[in-house]
A and B are shown apart, each in its own frame.
Chain A
Amino acid sequence: MKKIINDPATVVADALRGMAAAHPDLLDVQYDPAVVVRADAPVPRKVAVISGGGSGHEPLHGGFVGRGMLDAACPGAVFTSPTPDQVQAAITRTDGGAGALLIVKNYTGDVLNFETAAELAAMEGVEVRSVVIDDDVAVKDSLYTAGRRGVGGTVLLEKIVGAAAERGVDLDGCEALARRVIGQVRSMGLALSACTVPHAGEPSFTLADDEMELGIGIHGEPGRQRVPVGPASELVPALLDPILEDLPFTEGDRVLLFTNGMGGTPLIELYLAHGIAEELLAARGIVVERRLVGPYITSLEMQGMSLTVLKLDDELIDLWDAPVHTPALRWGV
């Protein structure tokens, strides 16, 4: 294992110190328990939008803390959900009197820890709601699993709900909007190589040179299927077709297309893949109104990508375009 670290046990705290140093104007970082908070929190009478999850997915979620997106992010250990006291600290620190909305990715650990935190916060008198995002179409047979995972759609959800909260939409409105976005977004990913969790010291799985994992999550867990790697012209439809069939997306739909890198894939490959996805959508008569391309929800140094498609309407476009000022997303400011 070759990594720029000192000690696997202190990776997250060490990285948070660097993040705080890099963005003193945007972020206020607390360490015990670890919470990344927007520098001007709490914002009076604004719904606090809070998310979190294991570290190792940077810039998710800490990179999306700031005006127009998240009020706080709770970074767990690498690939491990945060603990309830972290979430509770985030709620207490950002409560502006309008309640808090927790955005939770559908992974068992995340759901259990956020659920426990919401119970604790309710006892303190803060009104807390949770939404669980489960956009990953790779997970089949959801009756027999913990349900679909929450993956790339989380980034889009945080941006859109964050914009609404910034405009003063109340807790009911933010929750309803979040549920609407969750209903309209779908994702799927693939890995060309595994990643190495610092405390594990070895890759989470091994792939032959000509193999890929199709349908991965974001935690270095193996995918649903191991298949031969083809050219990009085959990889992109292998992700896009199941997404489009699932909702389904049909001719005339207006969408946001998000081409995401898993951490170890360069932009040249992401742009190449994005171009193919745009052509495939155009061929089906689906109109790409907005795009996002880059590594925004990653799995350490994993090579691979995911595609996310969100069905848009005028309201969602307007919220997507609204100003955002965070370490990882910034426009309109």
Chain B
Amino acid sequence: MATCTASSIADALRSAAQVITEHRDELVRLDREIGDGDHGENMKRGFTAMVSKLDSTELATPGAVLKLAASTLISTVGGAAGPLYGTAFLRAAAAVGDAAELDAALVAKALQAALEGVVARGKAVVGDKTMVDALTPAVAAAESVAEAGGDVASVLSAAAEAADQGAESTVPLVARKGRASYLGERSAGHLDPGARSTALLLRTFAGSAR
């Protein structure tokens, strides 16, 4: 895919809602191990609400779709994931402005802005065992593919690949942010649920762009 439009982003978000629903139990289980077991349920609630808003709203630009996603996640997810994912989508929306279509460079820029938003809100860095561990390498991979002249699909697929590896890298880590941090050493040996959901979302977006 050379560029993406408002309707292709809306379709990607609909697919994301389906994937999150399919993985709800897995995210609940991962979160129960080191947190309180609500991540899958919260994400499912937010993405389901998002789809019903997308279905009832006509939006002209990618930025408008991303903004709708942001406000729905902020007002329906709760927990830490609501403000973090909400801020990510909000910053991505701001980064793309009122462009009618996103090319590879704009997609990479949106991902970079999303990461900056997550870091600004949650104040986590790589190695804290959070979604930042998945998103940071994803953004780096997206940027290098975009700079090398890759298209939207290859940018997103590089991001998804890196996010998967980044999520896996959280397994041995001791959490320093979020609820898992209260477990100290006991948080090691578990995949971070936020990193996992980030990897799932990027994988879905990559699949939609192909």
A: residues with CB less than 8 A from B are 33, 54, 76-85, 107-109, 112-113, 115-116, 138-141, 144-146, 149, 197, 199-200, 202, 204-205, 217, 219-222, 224
A108 touches B178 (CB 8 A): yes
Given contacts A112-B121, A112-B122, A220-B37, contact A81 B182 (CB under 8 A): no
Alpha-carbon distance between A109 and B78 when the two chains are bound, in angstroms: 7
Check if B53 is an interface residue, CB within 8 A of chain A: no
Cross-chain pairs A/B with CB under 8 angstroms, 24 sampled: A80-B38, A80-B79, A83-B74, A83-B77, A84-B75, A84-B83, A85-B74, A108-B177, A108-B178, A109-B79, A109-B83, A109-B179, A112-B121, A138-B182, A141-B184, A145-B176, A145-B182, A145-B184, A146-B176, A200-B28, A200-B38, A217-B179, A217-B182, A221-B183
Q: What does DSSP make chain B's interface, helix, strand, loop or mixed?
A: helix
Contact string against A for B residues 61-105, beta-carbon threshold 8 Å, 1 for contact and 0 otherwise: 000000000000011111111111010000000000000000000
Q: In the complex, which residue of chain A has the Cβ closest to the Cβ of B46?
A: A83
Q: Most B CB atoms within 10 A — which of A107, A145, A199, A205?
A: A145
- Asked if residues B37 and A76 are in contact (CB atoms below 8 Å), the reply is no
CA distance A139 to B177 in the complex (A): 13
> Does B42 have its Cβ within 8 Å of any Cβ on chain A?
yes
Size band of the interface chain B makes with A: 20 to 34
Given A77-B38, A83-B75, A83-B78, decide whether A146 and B121 contact each other with a Cβ distance below 8 A.
Answer: no
B32 to A204, Cβ gap below 8 A?
A: yes
Q: Which of A112, A140, A197, A205 contacts B80 (CB 8 A)?
A: A112
Shortest B141–chain A CB gap in Å is 27
- Per-residue CB contact flags for chain B residues 162-188 toward chain A (1 = under 8 Å, else 0) read 000000000000111111011110100
Q: Which of B32, B41, B178 contacts A146 (CB 8 A)?
A: B178
User: What's the Cα separation between A109 and B35 when bound, in Å?
Assistant: 12
Q: Which of B's residues lie within 8 Å of A, judged by CB?
A: 28, 32, 35-38, 41-42, 45, 74-84, 86, 121-122, 174-179, 181-184, 186
Contacts of A224 in B (CB 8 A): 182-184, 186
The residues of B that contact A85 with a CB separation of less than 8 Å are 74-75
How far apart are B128's CB and chain A's nearest CB, in angstroms? 9
CA gap between A76 and B76 in the complex, in Å = 10
A113 and B184 in contact, given A77-B45, A83-B76, A108-B177 (Cβ under 8 angstroms): no
CA distance A205 to B32 in the complex (A): 8
Question: Does B122 lie within 8 Å of A76, measured CB to CB?
Answer: no
Q: Contacts of A82 on B, CB cut-off 8 Å?
A: 78
Checking B32, B78, B175, B177 against A200 with a beta-carbon cut-off of 8 angstroms, the contacting residue is: B32
A83 pairs with B38, CB closer than 8 A = no
Complex Cα–Cα for A33 and B76 (A): 10
Q: Which residue of A lies closest to B185 (CB)?
A: A224
CA distance A140 to B181 in the complex (A): 10
Of chain B, the residue at the smallest CB distance from A194 is B32
Complex: A222 Cα to B121 Cα, angstroms: 26
Q: How far is the CA of A204 from the CA of B36 in the complex (A)?
A: 7
- 4 nearest CB pairs, A to B: A145-B181, A109-B79, A112-B83, A109-B80
In the complex the two chains form, is A221's CB within 8 Å of B184's CB? no
